C-alpha cells in the first residue's frame, strides 16, 4: 500500500528528479497499477503491488539500474 501512495505522490508532484533506484521502482509499479484519478476499489491494485514484491520483480528492476 505504501508503494502505491508513493507513486501517487510522484504522479501528483510530477516525475522530476527521481533517483537511480526510485525511477525503475516507480515504472515497475506503473506498468501494472495506473494512477488513481477516480475512486475505484483498490484491492486489485494492492494485490498487484504485493505480487511485484513477492516475485522479486520490483527488486530486480531496481537492481538493474544500480
Q: What is the per-residue pLDDT across 1-60, written as a single tens digit (0 to 9) for each?
A: 899 999 999 999 987 889 999 999 999 999 999 999 999 999 999 999 999 999 999 999
Cell of 23: 525511477
Expressed as residue numbers, the domain containing 28 is 2-65
Mark out the alpha helices in the chain (DSSP H runs). 2-13, 22-32, 43-54, 57-65
Cα separation, 28 vs 60, in Å, equals: 10
Q: What is the pLDDT of residue 42?
A: 96
Q: What is the dihedral of CA 56, 32, 22, 16, to 10 degrees?
A: 170
Q: What's the domain count of the chain?
A: 1
What is the model's pTM?
0.90
Amino acid at each position: 500500500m505504501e508503494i502505491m501512495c508513493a507513486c501517487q505522490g510522484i504522479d501528483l508532484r510530477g516525475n522530476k528528479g527521481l533517483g537511480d533506484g526510485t525511477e525503475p521502482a516507480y515504472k515497475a509499479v506503473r506498468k501494472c497499477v495506473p494512477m488513481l484519478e477516480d475512486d475505484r476499489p483498490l484491492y486489485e491494485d494492492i494485490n498487484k503491488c504485493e505480487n511485484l514484491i513477492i516475485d522479486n520483480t520490483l527488486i530486480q528492476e531496481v537492481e538493474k539500474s544500480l
